[in-house]
Amino acid sequence: MTDARKLLEEMNERSREVFRRVVEGYLLTGAPVGSRSLTRDMSEKISAATVRNVMQDLEYMGLLDSPHISAGRVPTQSGLRMFVDGLLEVGDLQSADRALMDSTMSSNSTDVAGVLDRIGQTLSGVTQGASLVLAPKHEAPIKHIEFVSLGHDRALVVLVFGDGHVENRIFTPPPGQTPSSMREAANFLNSLVEGRTLSDVQTVIASQINARRQEIDQLAHAMIESGLAVWAGEGEGPERLIVRGRSHLLNASTDEVDLERIRTLFDDLERKRDIANFLELTDEGEGVRIFIGSENKLFSLSGSSLVVSPYMNADRKIVGAVGVIGPTRLNYGRIVPIVDYTAQLVGKLIADRS
């Protein structure tokens, strides 16, 4: 990023303007931008040949690309990154967009999942991209834990929370488990977790296992560690990631290559294998982040862009994230404030319900 900004500073005014207008034209239309169209809009009167020479220099620098012979230019991934970091003008949230997002919060429903789903639908409609909402883990105090055998290689851990919420998670237990070792593991956990949230119990249990190792046998010890792995995210339920608006991605595709990338993205979204990593994308703290093409480790093969922002609970702890994914020619200047505002809305919703 530093090299890109340095490069931008070293460019003269004419090169910067040509570069900016090519990127803005591409983001607006998705089509290559030619020299003749640029000459009509440049702040100084220069010939199309002069513009072509500047564009060739920018292409040599790796900022522009020519998809076809004798065609206009489009920005490369490096060019888009430099534009986003150094030239992007983020506008204020439009009043119509604000009103639409505010309308999702009008219900007094206690069904947080339903409200988050409605927020995702509206965010997708407003941005014309696919929306991603990572719901927070249930943070009510735990009341009871139970292990249930489903066979020699499958078990169920049942978590009952103080507010009546129940979660069932299937996992693979350690070999050789018996009903007595499962009861012992559950009894040990219940002596520690009551009144604590899922976020609290991982550290407590890990330290107590070491301190009280002699109190539990080897099988129960292994069972507890398997349960910890589930809570740490290995058994994360895909229902935490709410994806809406896939059809917008299809509508935005312009050729067969685009369609193939969208199909790859759909496969990734359907599997939802890496939802824990979705939250890691925001691990540098508050604020909106933009990932372009291969910078986006979750959907890199699809060549998509992701605009994402974390949201926090009442304790100012990051518990989830909101994002919009689409082609690299997203209207970043408009979408960034929408994602930022939506993350604030979701954070307020979670804080008010906690």
Q: Dihedral (C-alpha) 341, 344, 345, 346: value to the nearest 10 degrees? A: 120
Confidence check: pLDDT of 163 > 80: no
pLDDT value, residue 229: 67
pLDDT value, residue 279: 61
Nearest to 227 by CA among 156, 137, 151: 156
Question: What is the average pLDDT across 267-282?
Answer: 61
Q: What number of CA atoms fall less than 13 Å from residue 310's CA on the CB side?
A: 19
CA–CA distance, 236 with 238 (Å, rounded to integer): 6
Query: Which residues have C-beta within 8 Å of that of residue 6, sequence separation ≥ 6?
Result: none
pLDDT value, residue 126: 94
CA–CA distance, 136 with 277 (Å, rounded to integer): 14
Show the beta-strand stretches assigned E in the chain.
64-65, 74-75, 130-134, 142-151, 154-161, 166-171, 241-244, 289-292, 305-312, 318-326
Rounded alpha-carbon distances, angstroms, from residue 243 to 77, 119, 240, 283: 25, 11, 10, 21
Mean pLDDT, the chain, as a whole number? 81
Phi, psi (rounded to 5 degrees) for 55 = -65, -35
Which pairing describes strands 318-326 and 305-312: parallel, antiparallel, or unpaired? antiparallel
pLDDT tens-digit profile of 211-256?
A: 666 667 777 777 777 766 665 554 445 457 788 887 777 766 666 6
**Phi-psi sector, 233: left (phi>0), alpha (psi -120 to 50), beta:** left
The least confident of 14-23, 133-142, 211-220, 276-285 is 276-285
Position 258 confidence tier, pLDDT thresholds 50, 70, 90? low
Contact call for residues 90 and 337 (beta carbons, < 8 A): yes
CA–CA distance, 8 with 12 (Å, rounded to integer): 8
pLDDT value, residue 198: 72
pLDDT tens-digit profile of 101-141?
A: 999 887 666 678 788 999 999 999 999 888 989 888 766 78
- Tokens representing 250 are 């299809």
Contact call for residues 97 and 125 (beta carbons, < 8 A): no
